[in-house]
Amino acid sequence: MATAKELHELTLEDLNRRASDLRESLFKDRLKLRTGALESPAKRNDARRDLARILTVITQKKTAAAKA
């Protein structure tokens, strides 16, 4: 889990890559949840929060770039 401060230091390309990886992970976890093979639902919640944090930083960076 990365903090918002660490995420601000990354480039948009890296953030987008992390977001797509988390989306893929969440998709797989959703399938595991349906089949009953999900080991820890808490990890799924952490991944959702990380994705939200990354998307927020992406939006902030795009807004800052548009203003500049």
Q: Is the pLDDT of residue 1 over 80?
A: no
> pLDDT tens, 16-65?
999 999 999 999 999 999 999 988 889 999 999 999 999 999 999 999 99
Domain CATH for 50: 1.10.287
Q: Which domain does 21 fall in, by range?
A: 4-67
- Provide the pLDDT for residue 24: 97
CA–CA separation, 8 vs 5, rounded Å? 5
Closest CA to 55 of 19, 6, 4: 19
Query: If residue 54 lies in a helix (H) or strand (E), which one and from where to where?
Result: helix 41-67
Number of domains in the chain: 1
- Provide the pLDDT for residue 7: 93
Residue 64's Cα: distance from chain center in Å? 20
Would you say the C-alpha torsion 54, 56, 59, 60 has a positive or negative sign?
negative
- Provide the pLDDT for residue 55: 97
- Provide the pLDDT for residue 11: 94
